[in-house]
Structure formats: C-alpha cells, structure tokens
Amino acid sequence: MNRVALITGGAKGIGRAVAIDLASQDWAVAICYRTSAKEAAEVMEAVRQKGSKGIALECDVSKSAAAVSLVERVRQEYGRIDALINGAGPYHRVSLLKETNHGWHSMFDNNLHSVFYLTQAVIPVMKAQQWGRVVSFSMANAEQLIAQPQLTAHYIAKVGLLALSRSFAKLIAPDGITMNCVSPGFIDSGSAPAGELDKMVKFIPAGYVGSVNDAVGAVRYLLSDDARYVNGANIQLSGAWGV
C-alpha cells in the first residue's frame, strides 16, 4: 500500500515542493491550506501528473477542533497516515514594543499550538501502524536563544517547537514513530520580498541562498527508513548561518 502524507501549508513554498516530491515517489498526498485555494488546486494537478493521489482541504490548524478533524478526514480517506509534515508557519515583523495581543497569540497559535494539536491527533493512527514520521520546521538560529526584537513571538514559538518535538519523540519512539525538526535559514521559497535574500548572501558562510529542493532533500531523508534511528533531532538547513 502506498504511504500517505499530510502536509500543512502544502499549497506554497517548501510544503508545495515536498508534496510534489512525495507524489513522485508514489505517496498519496493530503495538503491543507487556509486561504490559498488556487495554489492548492495547482499542487493537486501537479500531484496527479505524477500519477499519484491527493486531496486539498481547507483548514485553520490553529484551531484544535479543526486540526483534529483534519487528521480524521485524511485517515478516513486513505485508511492511514504515515507522515505528518508541519509546514504551516506564518510570521510577521514588528517591534516587541509595538506587538499586539492578537499578533502575539497568532504566532503561537500558528507555529506551535497547531503542531501540538496535529501531532497528538495523528499519533494514535501511527501507533496502530507501528510506523510513522513527523517533521516540523523550526528556524536555523532557534537553538542559539538570541534576542529577536522584531520577531519575538515567532522566534519563541520556533524555540518551543524544538522542545515539543523532542518531548514527543521520547514518548513515541517505542511505537516505531519518529519526530524531528528541519531548521531553515534563508531559503528561496517565494515568500521573501524581492531583493531581500540577495542582501543576506554576505552573511551566509556557504555563500548562497538555499532552495526549496534543499528542504525537500532533508525531509525525504527524515521520512526514509535510512533515518529510522534519527529521533528528536534538528537538521540545520542554512549553509552554516545561525549556528
């Protein structure tokens, strides 16, 4: 039976690239989106062109009930879920002195709480299979615990994501399930303003900005049987920036 992946934020950027790559490997792919219906439809067309199955579901995974329902919907559709890719992770830049309560909470709701809801919901499905992979995205300098006065809430959520992933990893390892993080630095995923990435090249030791294919490769490895003993890990994907 083909493996099944659920990818949040799968309509754009890294999530989109991962979805299409998995489809090329005969995975069935379920993506969720919040507002990008057109882009999600384009991903599904690309999945079908790869000869695989896929569904795109509108869902706000920052809401616990919606996240749980999403997992159940995918399980009902395919009978299993082999991988959860937590790709959704919006951010905004604002001085901590001007941050609003809504902005503060939205960063945690969308970057940390959603991962908790989805992972907790998918674990029973993976336990029944005695196999599963969960991959989440942090950020390259999260382990450094540095000041981030313009990205404070987003940064703290990504720091928390590392601890959350490691805690889940210890609990689910006996059931053949792994949970790991990929922590990108500067990746040309299509979301950065024109010219911004070019300005950052001089700060990247590798001398260039990463591509979505670099992220795809890291995810592909973590989903593979080659990574069966990799659990609670964090892969830095940054060309040595932020380490």
Q: What is the mean pLDDT of the chain?
A: 95
Closest CA to 16 of 180, 240, 219, 176: 219
Domain assignment of residue 243, yes or no: no
Q: Which CATH number do you get for residue 206?
A: 3.40.50.720
Contact 151, 93 (CB under 8 A): yes
Stated pTM of the model: 0.95
Domain assignment of residue 17, yes or no: yes
Domain assignment of residue 19, yes or no: yes
Total structural domains in the chain?
Answer: 1
Residue 223 has pLDDT above 70, yes or no: yes
Domain assignment of residue 242, yes or no: no
* DSSP-assigned states of every residue in 62-115: TSHHHHHHHHHHHHHHHS---EEEE---------GGG--HHHHHHHHIIIIIHH
- Torsion, CA 195, CA 186, CA 154, CA 108, rounded to 10: 120
**pLDDT 10s digits, 159-178:** 999 999 999 999 999 999 99
**pLDDT 10s digits, 44-98:** 999 999 999 999 999 999 999 999 999 999 999 999 999 999 997 888 999 999 9
121: domain range? 4-237
Domain assignment of residue 115, yes or no: yes
Q: How far apart are CA 164 and CA 231, in angstroms?
A: 12
